[in-house]
Amino acid sequence: MKPIQVGLLGIGTVGSGTYNVLLRNEEEIRRRAGRSIRISMVADLDVARAKSVVGSDVEVVADARQVIANPEIDIVVELIGGYGIAKALVMEAIAAGKHVVTANKALLAVHGTEIFAAAQAKGVVVAFEAAVAGGIPIIKALREGLSANRIQWLAGIINGTTNFILSEMRDKGLDFDVVLKEAQRLGYAEADPTFDIEGIDAGHKVTLMSAIAFGIPVQFDRAHVEGITKLAAADITYAEQLGYRIKLLGITKRRDTGIELRVHPTLVPAKRLLANVEGAMNAVVVHGDAVGTTLYYGKGAGSEPTASAVVADLVDITRLHTADPDHRVPHLAFQPGQLAATPVLPIEDVVTSFYLRLQVADQAGVLAKITGILADRNISIDALLQRESAEGESKTDVIILTHDTREGDMNQAITAMQALPTVLAPIVRIRKEELS
C-alpha cells in the first residue's frame, strides 16, 4: 500500500523530533500502522535550518500553504505554535479535507470548539495527544481507557518548566532566573516563557483534560490561573516542615453545582507520589468512580518525548483513515451532541483547604484575634505553627493550615485579618489538596 503522506508545518524542537522518530522507527511503525508513514513535505520560515534536519530527501518550503494545497498530503502536522498563523493553517487544512495533528494546546484550549466543529463537519480528525503532558498518553487514557467511569477529579503536574524550576530551587537553592534559562536551553519552555511561569500553559492543558473528563466544551476563559512567580522560598520551607511540598497543579473536579477548573501552586502531602515528581517530569492523577485513583507519569516536554505523542496520533489516523467518521473516537470523548452545559464554578465557590502565612507583631492576644476571625466564618484550623520571623525578634511568622472552606469565605477572613494593626505584611495564602 502507498505510504501515508505527511506534511509538517514547523520543524523546530518538536518537529525535528517527529522527523527523527518516524525515520528511526519506520519499520516498527509500519508494522503497527499497516502502512508506511512518510514526511514528504516540510514548511518552515527557516528553510536552511529545516534542510539541515531533513536533508535532500524531503521537499522544504517556506510557505505552509503550499503544503496544505498539495493534494498528495493526507495529514498536516501543525508544530508552529500560537494562536495566529497556526489557527489559520489548521482551519485551512481542515477545509482542504486533511486530517490534522497538533501539539498546540494554546490554540485548542482557546479555539477548540470552533476547530473541532469544523473537523466534525468535514469528517476529518484533529488529534492532539502531544498537547497535554507531552509523551504521556493521557488523552488516550481519558478518552478511551477510562470510558467506563464517571470521572470525579484529576490533578496534574503538567508544565515541565515550572516543575523543573520548583525542583531546582528546592534542591540546589538556585535562583529562579538561572533555572528558567536552563529550562529554555533544554527545549521545555514555551516561546513566551510567561505562559509557563504564570500558569497559562498548565491552564490550557487542564482545560483540555477537563473537557474530555466531564464532557463539557473547552473554555479556557473560565479557568482560574495562577503561576509560580509570587512563590516565596520561606513558604517552600514552612510547607516542608508541615509535611508538604508545593507543586504547580492543574486541577479539575466535579461538584454538585458545577466544575472546578484551576491552576495554582498547591501544597501536596509529601508522601503522595505526585509530590515526588521532580525536574521536568509530568504526572497526572485521575480519579474515576469504578477504577479508583490512577497515575500517569513521564516526560511532558522535549523533542522526542513530545514527538512520541505526535507519531502515535499519526499511527492512529493511519489505522482509521478509511473508517466511517461516525465510528471514530469523538474529539472530546463524548459524542459532539452530548456535551453538557455544566457551569465552570467561579473561584469564590471552589472548596479547598488553605495554608496561610501571617507576619504578626509578637504581642499578647494577636493569635486570639486571628483565630477568632477564622472561627467567625466557620473556618476550622487543622494545624498552626509559630516561628521567629527572619525579619527580627519583634515579628513572628504564624502559619495556619485550615480544613476545607469556600474560597469566598476565606477571602473575607483574609480581608478582616489583613486589617488588624498587628498583621504587618500581606498575608500569603496557598491552596492545599490532600488528593486522596
Query: Which part of the chain contacts ligand NAD (CB under 6 A), choosing from 4-12, 324-332, 346-354, 426-434?
Result: 4-12
Query: Which part of the chain contacts ligand HSE (CB under 6 A), choosing from 42-50, 85-93, 156-164, 320-328?
Result: 156-164
One residue of 19, 128, 188, 220 binding ligand HSE per CB under 6 A: 188
One residue of 7, 12, 112, 199 binding ligand NAD per CB under 6 A: 12
Shortest spacing between CB 236 and ligand HSE, in angstroms: 20
Contacts of 202 (CB under 8 A, 6+ apart): 158, 159, 162, 225, 248, 249, 250, 263
Shortest spacing between CB 258 and Na ion, in angstroms: 26
| DSSP 3-state of 401 | strand
Grid coordinates representing 20?
527523527
Using CB under 6 A as the binding rule, whether residue 7 contacts ligand HSE is answered as no
Q: Are 315 and 37 in contact (CB under 8 A)?
A: yes
Query: Which part of the chain contacts ligand NAD (CB under 6 A), choosing from 298-306, 311-319, 331-339, 374-382?
Result: 298-306
In 3D, which of 264, 272, 279, 284 has the Cα closest to residue 245? 272
Contacts of 57 (CB under 8 A, 6+ apart): none
Radius of gyration of the chain (CA): 24
How is the chain split among helix, strand and coil, in percent rounded to 5? Answer: 40, 25, 35
Q: Are 106 and 81 in contact (CB under 8 A)?
A: yes
**Partner whose footprint covers residue 156, from Na ion, ligand NAD, ligand HSE, none (CB < 5 to 8 Å by kind):** none
Using CB under 6 A as the binding rule, whether residue 128 contacts ligand NAD is answered as no
**Partner whose footprint covers residue 43, from Na ion, ligand NAD, ligand HSE, none (CB < 5 to 8 Å by kind):** ligand NAD
Binders in 52-81 for ligand NAD, by CB under 6 A: 64, 79-81
- Dihedrals φ, ψ of 424, to 5°? -100, -10
Instruction: Give CA–CA dist 257/121, Å, rounded.
Output: 32
Catalytic residue among 87, 122, 181, 205: 205
Residue 336 burial (CB count, 10 A): 12
User: SS3 letters for 202-265?
Assistant: HHHHHHHHHHHHHCCCCCHHHCEECCCCCCCHHHHHHHHHCCEEEEEEEEEEECCCCEEEEEEE
Closer residue to ligand HSE, CB minimum distance, 96 or 174: 174
Using CB under 6 A as the binding rule, whether residue 167 contacts ligand NAD is answered as no
Interface size with ligand NAD, residues (CB under 6 A): 27
Residue 253 among the catalytic residues: no
Instruction: Give CA–CA dist 109/86, Å, rounded.
Output: 13
Using CB under 6 A as the binding rule, whether residue 260 contacts ligand NAD is answered as no
- Residue 361's identity, in one-letter code, is A
**Partner whose footprint covers residue 161, from ligand NAD, ligand HSE, Na ion, none (CB < 5 to 8 Å by kind):** ligand HSE
Using CB under 5 A as the binding rule, whether residue 103 contacts Na ion is answered as no
Using CB under 6 A as the binding rule, whether residue 313 contacts ligand HSE is answered as no
Query: Which part of the chain contacts ligand NAD (CB under 6 A), choosing from 40-48, 236-244, 320-328, 364-372?
Result: 40-48
Using CB under 6 A as the binding rule, whether residue 207 contacts ligand NAD is answered as no
Task: List residues forming the annotated binding site for NADPH.
Answer: 105
Using CB under 5 A as the binding rule, whether residue 312 contacts Na ion is answered as no
One residue of 302, 318, 360, 389 binding ligand NAD per CB under 6 A: 302
**Partner whose footprint covers residue 95, from ligand NAD, ligand HSE, Na ion, none (CB < 5 to 8 Å by kind):** none
Encoded one letter per residue, x for contact with Na ion by CB under 5 A and - for no contact, window 127-146 reads --x--xx--x-x--------
One residue of 7, 15, 137, 193 binding ligand NAD per CB under 6 A: 15
According to DSSP, the residues that pair with 247 across neighbouring strands are 266
**DSSP string of 63-121, one letter each residue:** -HHHHHH-TT--EEEE-S-SSSHHHHHHHHHHHTT-EEEE--HHHHHHHHHHHHHHHHH
One residue of 134, 135, 199, 288 binding ligand HSE per CB under 6 A: 134
Binders in 273-302 for ligand HSE, by CB under 6 A: 300-301
Instruction: Give CA–CA dist 105/228, Å, rounded.
Output: 20
Using CB under 5 A as the binding rule, whether residue 309 contacts Na ion is answered as yes
Shortest spacing between CB 11 and ligand NAD, in angstroms: 5
5 membership: H or E segment, kind and range: strand 4-9
* Angle in degrees, 0-180, between the axes of helices 13-24 and 47-54, rounded to the nearest 10: 20
Q: In degrees to the nearest 10, what's the CA dihedral of 8, 11, 12, 13?
A: 60
Instruction: Give CA–CA dist 128/65, Å, rounded.
Output: 21
Query: Binding residues for Na ion, per CB under 5 A?
Result: 129, 132-133, 136, 138, 309
Active site residue ranges:
205
Query: Binding residues for ligand NAD, per CB under 6 A?
Result: 9-15, 43-46, 64, 79-81, 85, 103-104, 130, 134, 187-188, 190-191, 301-302, 306
Query: Binding residues for ligand HSE, per CB under 6 A?
Result: 134, 159-161, 188-190, 196, 201, 300-301
